[in-house]
Amino acid sequence: MEKKLQTLIFPDNEKVQRQWGIYYRGNRCVQGKDDVKLYIPAFEVIDFSTFFNGFSYRKWKTYTNLGALHLYIEMKGNFDVELVGYDYHGIQPERHSYATFHYELDKKENVCIAFPDECKEQMVAFEIHPYADCELYGGYYTGEYLESDVREVELALATTTCFKEEYIIHNMELLKHEILESDDEISRHFYIHVVDNGRTLEPEKYNCDRLTVHPNKNVGGSGGFARGMIESLHQEPKATHVLLMDDDVIILPESLKRTYTLLTLLKSEYQGKFIAGAMLAMEDMCVMHEDLGTVRADGEVCPVHRDLNVTELVNCLKLEEKRPKVRNEFGAWWYCCMPREAIEKNGLPLPIFIRSDDLEYGLRCHPGFITMNGICLWHMGFTNKFNPAIDLYQVYRNMLVIQATSGVCQGIDFMAWIKRLYKQMMLEFNYGSVELLLRALEDYMKGPEFLMEDCGEAILKENRKLVETLVPIEKFEDDRFKDIDIHMDRVYETGVRSFKERWIYRITYNGHRFWPKSKLKDKPGVIGYDWSYQPDKQNLRRNLIVVNPLQQTMGVRTIDRDRFKKLQKRFKHDLKEYYQRKERLSKAYADAYKTFTSEKFWKKYLAI
C-alpha cells in the first residue's frame, strides 16, 4: 500500500517568505495569491533539499519499513526534475544525482517520479531546472508499506495556556481548519486539549468535536501538562499518544501530520520512543535554537544542537546524523510526543510549577528520542530573557527536588552551582537574586509536604518583588551618572586587572569587608544584566550600572554592607542545615515520589 509521508510546504506569510531558504534553495520566487504556490522563472534552479522539504530518507528507513519512495509534484511548464541525495561525513555535504526527467506540460498536471531502490543517503530531494517560466502548485512524498506495517494511532495534543490569548486562539483556529476539518487521515484520529490555567477562555465559544478547553487552576506548566495528560488518557477513544506543546508558539500543521504518520508506521522496536520537535526562534526564524536538551556531568543544562541556521544544507545534514548516546537527554515540552504506555508506567509530572518538569520527566522515562527535520515549531527564544525569579529560584529549587525525588542526575553537585551563583550575584551587588537563591534552598528544605500545597503562583508573585526593575534608557534619570558614557555595543567587553586588584577584590568580597568605604571608586562600572560576570568592571565600585543592550534598559546597584552581612549569615546557616539534613531530605522526597506522580494526587491537587 502507498502512504503519503510528507507534503511540500511553502512560506505562507511575508515574515517566513523572507526566510525562503528553509523551504527551497535558490533565488526567491514570486508566490501566487490564488492556487499557484510558486512561480519559477526560466533557467532559475530551485533546490528542495531543505529543512522543510528534503526527505529524511535514512531515518524513515531506520524507523519504519519503508519500501519504494515516490515523489508527486503538480506543475505546469517546460522543465527538468533532478532527483538528488546528500550525505555528510564531517567535512562537507556529498551530493549524489540519481536521475533527471524532462517534462513539457501545457496545463497543470500531477506527475509521479520514483526514487531508485539503491538510495542510501541521509536526505533525498529534488531540483527543478526550468527552460521557461514554470508554476509549481505543490507535491508530496509517498512510501510503499505492507498493511501489517500500519497501526492505528489516536493522537492527543495537550497544550497549557495562561493569559496568552493572542497565541492560543489563533492556534486553535488554525488546527481546526488545517487538521480537524481537513480530508487527511489525521483528522479522524486527532484531539486537542487546551488547559487554560488563566481561566480567560470561554469553553463554549471554542469547544467542538475533538477540541475541548479545560479551565484549570493556575498550577504552572507542570500542573497544566499533568491535566492535559489525564484528559488525554480518559478521552474516548483513549489516546495512544500524547503530544505536549507550549501555547506561545507558531504551529506548522504539517509537522503534526508528519508526526502522526510516523507514529502509524514505526517499527515495533521504536514504538516506545518519544518524538521531539525542534524549536526555531521567532526572533530569527531560520535558526534552530534546540532539538533536544541534555544535563551535562557538571550540571549545566544545554542543547544537544545549538543555534543552527537551517537554511544551510550542512546544518540540515548534521541533524540527519546518527547521534552518539547522550546520558541525560530530554525533549522539551514545547513539542514532545510520548506513547500512552510511558505515562501509565512512569506516572505524571512532579508538582514543581514551572521549569525543569520536562527535563525530569525525560530523564525519568529515559525513552530514547526521535527527531526529524520538518517536525518543529517557532517559539520565542531565550536570548536575553534572564529572569531571576525563574532562572534562580525555580530552576535550582526544582533541580534539588528532582535529584532527590526521581533519583536522576546522581553525581551532579547542584549545591556547587548555588554556591557559585550566590558568590557571583553578591559580588555584583545583586542582593535580590542572592535572596532568591536562598529561598530556593530554604523551600527545598521544607520537604515534600511543601510541594504538596498549591502555592506555586503565590511564590512566583512574591519572588518577583525581589527582581530589580530596569527602565528604558531614554527614561533613566540619575544626576549622579549623567556624564557617564554607555556604549551599548561594548557592555560585555572585558577589561584587565592587576594581580593586586584581583587579590583585594577576592579578600574584600568586592569591597563588602575589610576595605574602607572612602577607598571605593566613585565612577560606576557598567556591566551586563544576565549571566555574564565582569569582575574587572565592577572591581571596588560604590555603584554599578546594569544594562540590558537588547531590551535597551538599565538600572543602578549600590553596595550595601549591612545587607551583605545579613545574607552571609543566613547563607551559612542554610548551608549548615542543608548538610545536616541532606540524607533525611533525600529519603523524604524519594518516599513521596509515587504520591507526587500518581493520578490520585493530581486530581486532588487540581480539584477535578
The DSSP-derived string for 366-405 is ---EE--TT-EEEE---TT---HIIIIIIHHHHHHHHHHH
Phi-psi region of 351 (alpha: psi -120 to 50; beta: other; left: phi over 0): beta
The tens digit of pLDDT for each residue in 345-371 reads: 999 999 999 999 999 999 999 999 999
d(CA 576, CA 582): 10
For 442, other C-beta atoms within 10 Å of its C-beta total 17
pLDDT band at 13 (very low <50, low <70, confident <90, very high): confident
Q: Is the pLDDT of residue 40 over 90?
A: yes
Q: How confident is the model at residue 383 (pLDDT cuts 50, 70, 90)?
A: low
pLDDT at 297: 85
pLDDT at 338 over 90: yes
More confident residue, 465 or 480: 465
**How many DSSP H helices and E strands does the chain contain?**
20, 26
> String of b and e for 227-255 (b: at least 16 CB within 10 Å)?
bbbbbbbeeeeebbbbbbbbbbbbbbbbb
Identify the pLDDT of residue 384.
Answer: 55
Place 381 in a pLDDT band, splitting at 50, 70 and 90: low
Q: Contact 123/54 with Cβ under 8 angstroms? A: yes
**What does the pLDDT read at residue 292?**
94
Question: For residue 449, how many other CB atoms are within 10 A of its CB?
Answer: 9
Could you report the per-residue pLDDT of 203-262, keeping only the tens digit for each?
Answer: 999 999 999 999 999 999 999 999 999 999 999 999 999 999 999 999 999 999 999 999
Across the chain, mean pLDDT equals 93
Q: Which H or E run includes 135?
A: strand 134-144
β-bridge partners, 86:
95, 123
Q: How confident is the model at residue 411 (pLDDT cuts 50, 70, 90)?
A: confident
| Contact between residue 9 and residue 178 where contact means Cβ atoms under 8 Å apart | no
Digit-coded pLDDT (tens) for 203-215? 999 999 999 999 9
- Can you tell me the mean pLDDT for 157-175? 93
What whole-number distance in Å separates Cα of residue 219 and Cα of residue 226?
10
Residue 7 near residue 139, CB atoms below 8 Å = yes
Residue type, 432: G
Percent of the chain with pLDDT over 90: 81
Name the pLDDT band for 382 (thresholds 50, 70, 90). Answer: low
- Answering whether pTM is above 0.85, one says yes
Residue 95 has pLDDT above 60, yes or no: yes
Least confident of 125-134, 278-287, 335-344, 378-387: 378-387
The answer, yes or no, to whether residue 78 has pLDDT greater than 90, is yes
Pairing between β-strand 46-47 and β-strand 190-196 as defined by DSSP bridges: unpaired
